[in-house]
Structure 1
Amino acid sequence: MSEGGFSRRAALRGAAGAALGLGAAAAFSGTAAAGPGTRGRWPGRMRVPKERIAVQLYTLRSLLEQDTPGTLEALADMGYRNVELAGTYGRSAEEFRSLLDRNHLRAVSSHIGFDGADVDQLIADTKVLGARYADCAWAKFDTIAEWIAFAERLDRAGRAFRRAGIRYGYHNHAHEFQPIDGVRPFDVLARNTGWWHIHFEFDLYWLVVAGVDPVREFWRQPGRVRQFHVKDRAPDGGFADLGTGTIDFGSLFRDTWLGGVRHYIVEHDQPSDPLRTARVGHQYLTDLRF
């Protein structure tokens, strides 16, 4: 037994084991429209490289709070080599990095807010953890003036991270694509931050919920979308494990393939069985051909 009495290898595998074959089980509804990607070329020949697959640890937060070492070990057993952080669960950056190293896991990215924080300390901790990417996970304001002011602060933070060798970005939800006085907050962020300082981490689920075409939005920011949160949408509009929902990830990946995405990050905001969700997600991205 590991810390907190939570079983590590065998027991952590148990409930998730039956999910291995579900990754590509459902038919997709095809939310991605054609774009300047590679539609029609080499059908079924492309795949997401394993070294670009990660999981957002927020998906497993309930388990990480009980047993951080055991949960990380379970992810490694599934085949994950990369994770995106969302906190360190009461441990210092050095302590959490030690747990990652012990399980041969690499932090490729981290969700960290900068507003009101000590940016220099955030950068120092991110460097200890080894992440080369970091993202602001959330912002919401009522006026365009507030969004402009936020974008200016975001850009300053991005410049500081960039000087330290870390790429800083912004992770969307749906509200950034809903106009305020005729202006979309996302467009404010894009126009008022530097391409070189701020990238975008597209949460594909929230783009679909917002009613916009993820491929079209991707190519409106060529080369600037560096990360995908690969999160599926259930027929009722809720969250779903990858491959069991309605988003046509094969078409979406094919049509954005030449755009420079570095990380394909499995995520589910409210999983009933986090380990099963993580396992299904890894299997789905590993098996997917497009």
Structure 2
Amino acid sequence: MNQKSTFIALLLGISVAAFAQQRFGKLMKAPPGLVSYTFRNEFAKDMPGTLDNIKAMGFTNMEFSNLFGKTAVELRSLLDARGMICTGYGVSYDALLAKPEAVIQEAKTLGAEFVRVAWIPHTPPFDAEMAKKTVDDFNKFGQKLKESGLTFCYHNHGFEFAPLGKGTYFDYIVQNTNPDYVSFEIDILWVFHPGQDPAKLLKKYPDRFKLMHVKDLKKGVAHDLTGKTPPENDITLGTGQLNLPQILKAAQKTNIKYFYIEDENPKAAEQVPLSLAYLKGL
């Protein structure tokens, strides 16, 4: 922060850190959090040190989808000691099928508001029978979680955008799940990669999306429906194919509560600070 910004912060009677957080106000509804998968290798080796580094970058809000060998109690203690929070907890589809009570206990211990699933087990291609089972299971997951004060979200991964009738399998899942029980986390890279427009999807279902993964895709990468792309194709925000200003503008008119940067690239430690600076500059 420069001297002028520091002076303004003091004039307003708030901390420099608080003023820095407010500087996300134009296109971001809230300062972004970070997805734990971004630093999966670092977390596996040194969780306390990795949390320290993440906080030093400016993040206090985390979405965890792995406990990295810790218990939920241990991880919560590490977060509390650093003034950090976990708002989202990612688990597998099978975990919610087999042990929903354990998932609920871990999520509540972490302090998470949202429990999300990011992959539907299937043998490609995803088909109508699988889509129907998914809808039935999602409604059950969502009802169980809501009864415990949690919100279920499904994180798209690309393959759901295969055509079905006049729409896609993703449309079918959204339109046939109970909005009281099932919400969605939009991963904008995994909307764009299969050839869809993230801004248009946000406008189509503004009330169903509650979370967002903010990512960018390397220029030249072609569209496909595999739900897979090498991690090196995740690049610094604003340097790839996605129209992030347009997407974030559309997100302003949705129910999205938390935005998380996710960067799967092995060079994430170099890219994430640049991505954060890009968002501040919008």
Shared fold per TM-score greater than 0.5: yes
> Do the aligned residues in 2 keep the contact of 1:227 with 1:264 (CA within 8 Å)?
yes
**Match in the other structure for 1:47:** 27
> Do the aligned residues in 1 keep the contact of 2:185 with 2:210 (CA within 8 Å)?
yes
| Secondary structure in structure 2 of the residue aligned to 1:232 | coil
What is the rounded CA distance, in whole Å, between the counterparts of 1:74 and 1:282 in structure 2? Answer: 14
**Match in the other structure for 2:161:** 177
What is the rounded CA distance, in whole Å, between the counterparts of 2:279 and 2:109 in structure 1? Answer: 29
> Do the aligned residues in 1 keep the contact of 2:203 with 2:250 (CA within 8 Å)?
no
**Match in the other structure for 1:80:** 59
**Match in the other structure for 2:9:** none
Please report how far the alpha carbon of residue 156 of structure 1 lies from its aligned counterpart in structure 2 after TM superposition.
Answer: 0.4
> Do the aligned residues in 2 keep the contact of 1:144 with 1:183 (CA within 8 Å)?
no
Please report how far the alpha carbon of residue 137 of structure 1 lies from its aligned counterpart in structure 2 after TM superposition.
Answer: 0.9
Correspondences of 1:1-290 after superposition (within 5 Å): 46-50=26-30, 52-115=31-94, 116-141=97-122, 142-179=126-163, 184-237=168-221, 238-269=233-264, 271-288=265-282
What is the rounded CA distance, in whole Å, between the counterparts of 1:187 and 1:127 in structure 2? Answer: 30
Deviates more, 1:230-239 or 1:196-205: 230-239
| Secondary structure in structure 2 of the residue aligned to 1:233 | coil
Please report how far the alpha carbon of residue 148 of structure 1 lies from its aligned counterpart in structure 2 after TM superposition.
Answer: 0.6
Q: Of the two structures, which has the highest relative contact order with CA contacts closer than 8 Å and spacing of 6 or more? A: 1
**How many residue pairs end up in the alignment?**
243
CA distance 1:167–1:67, shift in 2 (3 Å)? same
> Do the aligned residues in 2 keep the contact of 1:55 with 1:278 (CA within 8 Å)?
no
Please report how far the alpha carbon of residue 140 of structure 1 lies from its aligned counterpart in structure 2 after TM superposition.
Answer: 4.6
CA distance 1:49–1:184, shift in 2 (3 Å)? closer
TM-score where L is the length of structure 2: 0.81
> Do the aligned residues in 2 keep the contact of 1:134 with 1:169 (CA within 8 Å)?
yes
Extract unaligned runs of 5+ from structure 2. Answer: 1-23, 222-232
What is the rounded CA distance, in whole Å, between the counterparts of 1:106 and 1:184 in structure 2? Answer: 35
> Do the aligned residues in 2 keep the contact of 1:229 with 1:265 (CA within 8 Å)?
yes
Please report how far the alpha carbon of residue 177 of structure 1 lies from its aligned counterpart in structure 2 after TM superposition.
Answer: 0.4
Deviations 1:181-233 (A, max 9, x none): 77622122112211111111111011111111112211221311111110101
What is the rounded CA distance, in whole Å, between the counterparts of 1:261 and 1:183 in structure 2? Answer: 23
Please report how far the alpha carbon of residue 256 of structure 1 lies from its aligned counterpart in structure 2 after TM superposition.
Answer: 2.9
> Do the aligned residues in 2 keep the contact of 1:199 with 1:226 (CA within 8 Å)?
yes
What is the rounded CA distance, in whole Å, between the counterparts of 2:130 and 2:160 in structure 1? Answer: 13
Q: Identical aligned pairs, as a percentage?
A: 26
| Secondary structure in structure 1 of the residue aligned to 2:26 | coil
Extract unaligned runs of 5+ from structure 1. Answer: 1-43
Please report how far the alpha carbon of residue 286 of structure 1 lies from its aligned counterpart in structure 2 after TM superposition.
Answer: 2.6
> Could you tell me which amino acid in structure 2 is paired with residue 211 of structure 1?
G
Q: Which runs of 4+ in 1 moved over 3 A?
A: 180-183
Please report how far the alpha carbon of residue 246 of structure 1 lies from its aligned counterpart in structure 2 after TM superposition.
Answer: 2.3
> Could you tell me which amino acid in structure 2 is paired with residue 112 of structure 1?
V
Please report how far the alpha carbon of residue 245 of structure 1 lies from its aligned counterpart in structure 2 after TM superposition.
Answer: 1.4
What is the rounded CA distance, in whole Å, between the counterparts of 1:216 and 1:274 in structure 2? Answer: 28
> Do the aligned residues in 1 keep the contact of 2:93 with 2:120 (CA within 8 Å)?
no
What is the rounded CA distance, in whole Å, between the counterparts of 1:187 and 1:129 in structure 2? Answer: 32
CA distance 1:173–1:114, shift in 2 (3 Å)? closer
> Do the aligned residues in 1 keep the contact of 2:206 with 2:253 (CA within 8 Å)?
no
> Could you tell me which amino acid in structure 2 is paired with residue 273 of structure 1?
K
Please report how far the alpha carbon of residue 159 of structure 1 lies from its aligned counterpart in structure 2 after TM superposition.
Answer: 0.7
What is the rounded CA distance, in whole Å, between the counterparts of 1:227 and 1:282 in structure 2? Answer: 18
What is the rounded CA distance, in whole Å, between the counterparts of 1:99 and 1:45 in structure 2? Answer: 29
CA distance 1:181–1:253, shift in 2 (3 Å)? closer
